[in-house]
Amino acid sequence: MALEHAILVSLLEQPGSGYELARRFERSIGYFWTATHQQIYRVLKRMENDGWVASREVSQHGRPDKKEYSVADLGHAALSSWLHEPIEPESVRHDLAVKIRGAAFDDPAGLVREVERHRRAHTDRLTHYLAGEERDFPPVPDDGTPPDAERELQHVVLRGGVAYERMMIAWLDDVLATLRRF
Amino acid sequence: MALEHAILVSLLEQPGSGYELARRFERSIGYFWTATHQQIYRVLKRMENDGWVASREVSQHGRPDKKEYSVADLGHAALSSWLHEPIEPESVRHDLAVKIRGAAFDDPAGLVREVERHRRAHTDRLTHYLAGEERDFPPVPDDGTPPDAERELQHVVLRGGVAYERMMIAWLDDVLATLRRF
DNA sequence: CCTTGCTATGCAACTGGTTGCATAGCAAGA
DNA sequence: TCTTGCTATGCAACCAGTTGCATAGCAAGG
């Protein structure tokens, strides 16, 4: 399970409430790890019981109070030991691939609109990633100052998202060309 | 849920027992949808109760008997209606991306060996895909005969796997270069 | 004042998926 | 004969994740 660890990373980058975490999981972290707010609240509670995170009540102006969480020593240690474990070869789940192979026994041409819809979703996400990259990672001249690990690593993960979306768009074009031959 | 549908597609391509399905889910179908044998047996039982599949006992020489499943009309209809639903924008889960961002708060260089391990797993899988492609999809001259949908669609899904592995390898090289700057 | 809508937190029930364990047929080899 | 190993099927317990629902503070606008 890596939700705990994703939360730890997110809280290390920036402490925040369950609600704020849920919003981050709709963007940023959420590009490669999804979670709903119910899940986040439940896991945060468990993590607090385990001493991985600590919370404090924060009053806000014009809004309900929030509970701001930050990473405790035990949490930092737990993250560290997880980082040093080898494991997890990742398992893939691709509904669309199942659909494409299934289309052979139904109506191949009928899948075109569905694939086009997916293609649009991926181009949208690519556009979004590229805008984020331009905003958050403008090119800096190498003036000899040491690189910032947090920033560089966030950037390389984002580049992974960009590469993934580009690959998917190219493949979906291949799929569309194939479907249109029937 | 698409496990039912993945099983239907697999049984349409070739009827088989739960055990045989489990083996297919370790290759072929398993490249984009994973399932353990327990899960497959449980779901097959439910599908049989629902009339989606039918089974018959098959005696084998030198082996225990098996129950061979094939798709019933209701199952074919269920698959068809699923294929015509729009839905599912796919959610991603990338442990490695979490680890990479987390490494900023631990030991970036310590992640190199882990990333190299993943890179090796992906090159292995790519080699495996390419061997399968050469074996199952040799180039055929276009002699005007109509293309075989089942075959062409299996091929385009496999090309997706190849594209994915190539993208991952290139990205992991990017990650390694980034990690090595610290 | 009342509705709408966003912030903020949470419970309960369910479903899908994983893990550990168990059983049994049969073949091959020590 | 006994062990090892592959084929073949399955139960039970657990855990992670989803869905539906509920509550409450506060602001803005009709």
Q: What pLDDT does residue A144 have?
A: 78
DSSP for B5-37, please give it. HHHHHHHHHS-B-HHHHHHHTTSGGGGTB---H
The Cα A101–Cα B154 span in angstroms is 6
Q: Which helix (H) or strand (E) holds B171?
A: helix B149-179
- Distance from the Cα of B63 to chain A's closest Cα (Å) equals 31
For residue B39, say whether its CB is under 7 Å from any atom of strand C: yes
Q: What pLDDT does residue A37 have?
A: 94
Q: What pLDDT does residue A30 have?
A: 85
The Cα B10–Cα B4 span in angstroms is 10
Q: Is A107 touching B (CB cutoff 8 A)?
A: yes
Within 7 Å of a protein beta carbon, the nucleotides of strand D are 7-12, 15-21, 24-27
Higher pLDDT, B89 or A55: A55
Higher pLDDT, A144 or A170: A170
For residue B10, say whether its CB is under 7 Å from any atom of strand D: no
Distances (CA, A) of B158 to A13, A107, B8, B133: 38, 20, 19, 7
Q: Which residue has the least CA–C1' distance to nucleotide C15? A: B1
Q: Which residue has the least CA–C1' distance to nucleotide C24? A: B64
The Cα A108–Cα B88 span in angstroms is 19
DSSP letter, residue B105: T
Question: Looking at residues B15-27, what average pLDDT do you find?
Answer: 94
Q: pLDDT tens, A60-89? A: 888 888 999 999 999 999 999 999 988 766
Check CB contact under 8 Å for B92 and A31.
yes
Q: Locate the chain A residue with the closest alpha carbon to B125.
A: A89
CA A97 to the chain's CA centroid: 21
Residue type for position B102: G
Q: Helix-strand-coil percent breakdown of chain A, rounded to 5?
A: 65, 10, 30
Q: pLDDT tens, B37-87? A: 999 999 999 999 999 999 999 888 888 889 999 999 999 999 999 999 887
The whole model's pTM is what? Answer: 0.93
DSSP letter, residue B63: S
Q: pLDDT tens, B22-34? A: 999 988 888 889 9
Question: Looking at residues A101-120, what average pLDDT do you find?
Answer: 94
Name which of B1, B10, B12, B92 to mutate to probe chain A: the one with the most chain A Cβ atoms within 10 A of its Cβ. Answer: B92
Distances (CA, A) of B82 to A103, B39, B87: 10, 20, 9
Indicate the angle between helix axes A149-179 and B149-179, nearest 10 degrees.
170
Indicate the angle between helix axes A37-49 and A3-13, nearest 10 degrees.
80
Task: Please report, to the nearest 10 degrees, the dihedral formed by the alpha carbons of residues B123, A31, A8, B120 taken in order.
Answer: 0
